[in-house]
């Protein structure tokens, strides 16, 4: 039976490129899919892998080319990837799909994504006292500077290296209880306080940053009695491109979603 049309590739290559300027950092957050067609019938019908480009190689090419060249144009970056893959002898067609995840700058070294998170309001009435709570979900924020993780416990199972400089990214979920009547503008003010407190300090840990954010809300908003925060640590792992003969300037990262650290705590008035 003849083999019909076929293709293969690497999908969901999560690439973050951080260009470190003297006064600010520039961020490109991409998901890249690669698909190749060519003379690969024998791979399917005879189990002969000669000339087959491994999908792991495709992933490495994405990171290496991102390290070698500026990503100031997504079309030119995609075209460079296509040209590279067409250079393999058995590849006759290459398709590269690049999706960019936009970030809104907050400071020279911090960003938020989306429209500022999803607003939540919860009110309750009936027998006994009424209750008003509010919150924010899906508030995705990132810092490219001023975050570290050092001095933690180590034993024979510990492989994580200590670092004095890392990307800190999280999806903030917060819920707060009002102790006084809250008008329409209070929610946005609390959300903005959370954003400001995410960036205004050196962060030795996600735990420390969570507490700073909670304390800022309690300090600046008399209407809030307590706030509970959940901060998953969205890891951005440095990708070593030096093994491909490319200078590693610490600009290329692999953004992961699973597994992740999850830090949760409540800050309330004394």
Q: What is the pLDDT along the chain (270 residues), one digit of tens a residue?
A: 788 898 999 999 999 999 999 999 999 999 999 999 999 999 999 999 999 999 999 999 999 999 999 999 898 999 999 999 999 999 999 999 999 998 999 999 999 987 789 999 987 776 667 789 999 999 999 999 999 999 999 989 899 999 999 999 999 999 999 998 888 999 999 999 999 999 999 999 999 999 999 999 999 999 999 999 999 999 999 999 999 999 999 999 999 988 899 999 999 998
d(CA 114, CA 9): 30
Q: Supply the pTM of this predicted model.
A: 0.83
Q: Which residues are catalytic?
A: 10, 55, 235
Please compute, for residue 12, the number of CA atoms within 13 A of its CA located in the half-sphere on the CB side. Answer: 3
5: its two tokens: 């049309």
One of 3.40.50.150, 3.20.20.100, 3.40.50.2300, 3.10.270.10 is the CATH number of 104-268, namely 3.10.270.10
User: What single string gives the DSSP state of each residue in 192-204?
Assistant: HHHHHHHHSS-BS
Is 71:17 a contact under the CB 8 Å cutoff? yes
Rounded to whole angstroms, the Cα distance separating 174 from 139 reads 9
Give the CATH number of domain 11-101. 3.30.1130.10
Task: Enumerate the domain spans of the chain.
Answer: 11-101, 104-268
């Amino acid at each position: 039976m003849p083999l019909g049309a076929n293709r293969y590739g690497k999908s969901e290559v999560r690439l973050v490129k951080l260009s470190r300027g003297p006064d600010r950092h520039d961020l490109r957050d991409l998901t890249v899919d690669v698909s190749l067609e060519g003379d690969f019938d024998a791979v399917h019908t005879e189990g002969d892998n000669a000339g087959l480009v491994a999908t792991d190689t495709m992933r490495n090419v994405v990171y290496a080319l991102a390290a070698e060249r500026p990503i100031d144009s997504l079309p030119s970056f995609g075209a460079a990837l296509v040209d590279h893959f067409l250079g393999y002898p058995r590849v006759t067609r290459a398709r590269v799909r690049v999706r960019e995840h936009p970030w809104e700058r907050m400071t020279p070294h911090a960003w938020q994504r989306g429209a500022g998170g999803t607003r939540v309001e919860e009110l309750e009435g009936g027998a006994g006292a009424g209750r008003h709570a509010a919150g924010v979900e899906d508030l995705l924020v990132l810092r490219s500077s001023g975050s570290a993780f050092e001095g933690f416990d180590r034993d024979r199972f510990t492989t994580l290296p200590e670092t004095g400089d890392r990307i800190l990214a999280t999806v903030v979920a917060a819920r707060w209880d009002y102790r006084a009547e809250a008008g329409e503008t209070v929610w946005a003010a609390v959300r903005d306080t959370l954003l400001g407190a995410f960036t205004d300090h050196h962060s030795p840990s996600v735990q420390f940053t969570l507490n700073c954010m909670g304390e800022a809300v309690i300090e600046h908003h008399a209407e809030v009695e307590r706030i509970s925060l959940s901060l998953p640590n969205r890891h951005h792992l440095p990708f070593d491109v030096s093994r491909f003969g490319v200078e590693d300037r610490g600009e290329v990262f692999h953004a992961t979603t699973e597994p992740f650290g999850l830090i949760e705590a409540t800050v309330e008035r004394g």
